[in-house]
Structure 1
């Protein structure tokens, strides 16, 4: 069977295990059903996720021009503390930024490679945690806008990592940490203007189970620009990565905007 189209991050459903879907313009496939099977990935070309033109991808599925002009990739995406929509101040497009920034946001602890702090919109729970390959995650605060979430994350980054070590996450070489106990330590670290939103006794620990037959002992990353055709046996899916038998891992999200043909 063959599937062809532009890569976008895999869609997911929370379950036991997590269900993954590759969605193309005219078709989709349940990636869980591919685990244990041989598949071939062929690189065909590029298509910017924003302007739809067949232009080389620069970052995050966008061509160079769109990356530096689209409101969807402003600096406040990666650095929520830079959000200004709550002040009525635009970065690139105030209407878009108000729509995204002025809604409930979560600051959380997640455990994937080590305990990390992060920010996401409430509507992205638990999708955000699945996408980063977290084994467990728990909410610290729920605030009404992205700015308050951002300043909370900044305060906690002095005590916790804010990025996932993707190699450790994929090898699953990690020691368990009790996130409920960890959350109890945090109240004094949270900024005063966010203290009222602190979640102390809510039992909302999420645990994620991924469709993986066998974790790799080390990982090597597949880059379609350097290796335009790859064949291997799929051993699992975690985060937004496909894991193959020969220790190759393929970051679907990191290859958004690439046009591929997948043959099973």
Structure 2
């Protein structure tokens, strides 16, 4: 059986274990059902997620010209402290920026390789944690806009990491942490503007991923360079497919590639 479509980040369902889906224009794959099966992935062409043209992908699934033009790739996406919609100030498209920035946001702690701080929209919990391969996570504050979440993250990352070590995450080199204690220790560093939004009482969320075998030395697949790859799927974690020969393929970083997937 063969599927063809443009890669976008896997959709997920919070279950035990997490359920993953590759969604194409006219079809979808429940990726969990491919575990312990040999699959072949073949690169066909590019398809920018914005303009749809066959142009090399620059970042985030967009070609270079789209990346530097559309609001979905503006700097405030990666650096929420740069958000300005709450000031009625446009960056690239004020209507879009208000829609995304002026909604409840969460500042959270997630443990995927080590404890890290992050920001996401309230509506993206727990999807964001799944995408990062976190096995446990907890909310710290819930604020009414992206800017407040951004300045809180900036303040907290002086005291806790804001990065995930993807190799450690995939190798499952993790230890359980008391995230409630972490939350209480970090409370004092929350900026004054966001202190009123501190979440006083909650518990951590635990996540289980569908992995049969973790890689000891994960090696990243460059599908554009190799053109095709075949291997037995033994795990899914974060946005990575994990294969028996320790090859790993990051779906998120390959958005915008049109592929054939044969089972």
Same fold (TM > 0.5): yes
Q: Structure 1 residue 190: deviation in Å?
A: 0.5
1:216 corresponding residue in structure 2: 215
| Structure 1 segments of 4+ aligned residues over 3 angstroms from their partners | none
TM-score by length of 2: 0.99
Q: Aligned partners of 2:202 and 2:59: how far apart in 1?
A: 38
1:113 corresponding residue in structure 2: 113
SS in structure 2 opposite 1:259? Answer: strand
Q: Aligned partners of 1:19 and 1:210: how far apart in 2?
A: 8
Q: Aligned partners of 2:80 and 2:59: how far apart in 1?
A: 19
1:197 corresponding residue in structure 2: 197
- For each residue in 1:166-187, what CA deviation from the matched residue of structure 2 results, as whole angstroms up to 9, or x when unmatched? 0000000122211111111122
1:247 corresponding residue in structure 2: 246
Do structure 1's residue 123 and structure 2's residue 123 form an aligned pair?
yes
TM-score by length of 1: 0.99
Q: Aligned partners of 2:187 and 2:69: how far apart in 1?
A: 38
Q: Aligned partners of 2:67 and 2:239: how far apart in 1?
A: 21
Q: Structure 1 residue 200: deviation in Å?
A: 2.0
The size of the alignment, in residue pairs, is 263
Could you tell me which runs of 5 or more consecutive residues in structure 1 were left unpaired when the two chains were aligned.
none
Q: Aligned partners of 2:175 and 2:138: how far apart in 1?
A: 17
1:228 corresponding residue in structure 2: 227
1:22 corresponding residue in structure 2: 22
SS in structure 2 opposite 1:55? Answer: coil
Could you tell me which runs of 5 or more consecutive residues in structure 2 were left unpaired when the two chains were aligned.
none
Q: Aligned partners of 1:112 and 1:86: how far apart in 2?
A: 32
Q: Structure 1 residue 201: deviation in Å?
A: 1.3
Q: Map of 1:1-264 to 2, 5 A cutoff?
A: 1-203=1-203, 205-264=204-263
SS in structure 1 opposite 2:89? Answer: coil
Q: Aligned partners of 2:84 and 2:44: how far apart in 1?
A: 40
Q: Aligned partners of 2:226 and 2:61: how far apart in 1?
A: 18
- For each residue in 1:6-26, what CA deviation from the matched residue of structure 2 results, as whole angstroms up to 9, or x when unmatched? 000000000000000001111
